[in-house]
């Protein structure tokens, strides 16, 4: 039997495709966004201790209490707002699960959800499965800043949600306080929900601050704010994230969560609770840690024919490859992996309709220096 697909536009993700090419051709993998350096020692020790202490059974559906309290403490420390640990914080099996749960909590058949292109590739499939319609609005093709005239024009009586992402994947663009105020004005007096994807919240550069939706009372009262421990603590394979939302939104969110995964890997939850409280300097210094990597990698890229774009946050570097090739981005990235031994991610899978003639690829610099040096040596030969 061959079922009628519910996701006709979806195939194998570009991240899986490019990582497989890295394996097949012995390429340096700067594609998929995972660090290749160690998880903090305290976190590993805390995980092992939690398992030895028998914390290996189902966690409470919303997350273990010590972790929810630690998240509330960290949120207050970072953004001046303390969510209710019991009613407003839910631990999930990664940020992708949280995004899925938030969409399915409030989006119904025929509802429109505004997504800002380029955007992470899990957004639209989750909208489609909820029966909604993704309305794609392009960001500026060079700076990836929001175009407020286009966003305002996209709002309709059917708009149920708008999804934002800062720092932005794939570009690293950062929303400013003015952007958040523009968003406040846009949503004022409406019943539109906000999904704020903030998984790179602690990776902000150049002395700036992260403009979380949680800083803005009129936004947080309608928002699902989603984060990821994997990005902050270099352990993407642990798949632990969380959602902060007002009590009424959290109640609907948890209805989906409990029948999706129900709960999340318990030992890791206890480990993160300890890590957050005992070593806050880790997330406080994460921006400086990655800023040094960004700056070093950018200087190296300037010795190649690739043109690096500015990176205000996150751990991805976009490069313009126009001086190297006229190939479309997916073809270029395949050629780069097979012929030159470096894996990058094309930007077109992040769009509903990619801009004509765009020649950009995404490189991940969340890597050891030896990995980045090996990639640069190959890129200098372009």
The model's pLDDT over 273-304, given as tens digits with 9 standing for 90+, comes to 999 999 999 999 999 999 999 999 999 999 99
Do 14-39+284-379 and 41-280 show the same overall fold? no
> Residue 115 carries which DSSP code?
E
Average pLDDT along the chain:
96
Domain boundaries, the chain: 14-39+284-379, 41-280
What tokens does 90 get? 């839910």
Q: Rounded to an integer, what distance in angstroms lies between the CA atom of residue 70 and that of residue 334?
A: 43
The model's pLDDT over 95-111, given as tens digits with 9 standing for 90+, comes to 999 999 999 999 999 99
Nearest to 171 by CA among 372, 349, 367, 362: 362
What per-residue confidence (pLDDT) applies to 275? Answer: 98
DSSP 249-302: HHHHHHHHHHHHTSS--HHHHHHHHHHHHH-THHHHSHHHHHHHHHHHHHHHHT
- pTM surpassing 0.85? yes
Q: 3-state SS string over 23-89?
A: HHHCCEECCCCCCCCCCCHHHHHHHHHHHHCCCCCCCCCCCCHHHHHHHHHHHHHHHCCCCCCCCCE
The model's pLDDT over 2-47, given as tens digits with 9 standing for 90+, comes to 999 999 988 888 888 888 988 898 999 999 888 999 999 999 999 9
What per-residue confidence (pLDDT) applies to 334? Answer: 94
The model's pLDDT over 34-87, given as tens digits with 9 standing for 90+, comes to 899 999 999 999 999 999 999 999 999 999 999 999 999 999 999 999 999 999
Q: CATH number for 41-280: choose from 3.40.640.10, 3.40.50.620, 3.40.1190.10, 3.30.70.1400.
A: 3.40.640.10
What tokens does 85 get? 């640990």
Average pLDDT score over residue span 303-317: 98
Average pLDDT score over residue span 140-158: 97
What per-residue confidence (pLDDT) applies to 10? Answer: 85
Q: Judge: domain 14-39+284-379, CATH 3.90.1150.10.
A: yes
Place of tokens 């991240």: 15
The model's pLDDT over 316-329, given as tens digits with 9 standing for 90+, comes to 999 999 999 999 99
Percent of the chain with pLDDT over 90: 94
Length of the chain in residues, anyone? 382
**Beta strand pairing status for 89-92 and 112-117?**
unpaired
pLDDT of residue 363 exceeding 90, the answer is yes
Contact 322, 359 (CB under 8 A): yes
Average pLDDT score over residue span 248-268: 98
Q: Rounded to an integer, what distance in angstroms lies between the CA atom of residue 168 and that of residue 177?
A: 15
């Amino acid at each position: 039997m061959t079922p009628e697909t519910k996701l006709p536009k979806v195939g194998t993700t570009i991240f899986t495709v490019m990582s497989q090419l890295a394996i097949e051709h012995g390429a340096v993998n700067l594609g998929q966004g995972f660090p290749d350096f160690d998880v903090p020692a305290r976190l590993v020790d805390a995980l092992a201790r939690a398992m030895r202490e028998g914390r290996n059974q189902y966690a409470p559906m919303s997350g273990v209490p010590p972790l929810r309290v630690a998240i509330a403490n960290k949120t207050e420390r970072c953004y001046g707002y303390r969510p209710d640990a019991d009613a407003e914080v839910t631990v999930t099996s990664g940020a992708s699960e949280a995004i899925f749960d938030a969409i399915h909590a409030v989006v119904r058949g025929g509802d429109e959800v505004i997504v800002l292109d380029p955007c992470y590739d899990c957004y639209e499939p989750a909208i489609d499965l909820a029966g909604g319609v993704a309305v794609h609005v392009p960001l500026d093709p060079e700076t990836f800043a929001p175009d407020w005239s286009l966003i305002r024009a996209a709002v309709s009586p059917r708009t149920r949600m708008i999804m934002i992402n800062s720092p932005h994947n794939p570009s690293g663009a950062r929303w400013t306080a003015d952007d958040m105020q523009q968003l406040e004005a846009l949503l004022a007096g409406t019943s539109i929900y906000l999904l704020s994807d903030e998984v790179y919240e602690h990776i902000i550069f150049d002395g700036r601050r992260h403009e979380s939706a949680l800083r803005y009372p009129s936004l947080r009262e309608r928002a699902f704010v989603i984060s990821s421990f994997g990005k902050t603590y270099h352990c993407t394979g642990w798949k632990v994230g969380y959602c902060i939302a007002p009590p009424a939104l959290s109640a609907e969110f948890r209805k989906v969560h409990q029948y999706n995964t129900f709960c999340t890997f318990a030992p890791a939850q206890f480990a993160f609770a300890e890590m957050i409280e005992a070593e806050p300097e880790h997330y406080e210094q994460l921006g400086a840690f990655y800023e040094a990597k960004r700056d070093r990698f950018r200087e190296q890229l300037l010795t190649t024919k690739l043109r690096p774009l500015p990176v205000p946050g996150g751990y991805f570097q976009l490069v313009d490859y126009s001086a190297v090739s006229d190939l479309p981005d997916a073809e270029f990235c395949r050629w780069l992996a097979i012929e030159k031994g470096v894996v990058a991610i094309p930007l077109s899978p992040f769009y509903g309709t990619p801009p004509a003639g765009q020649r950009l690829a995404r490189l991940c610099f969340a890597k050891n220096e030896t990995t980045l040096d090996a990639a640069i040596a190959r890129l200098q030969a372009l």
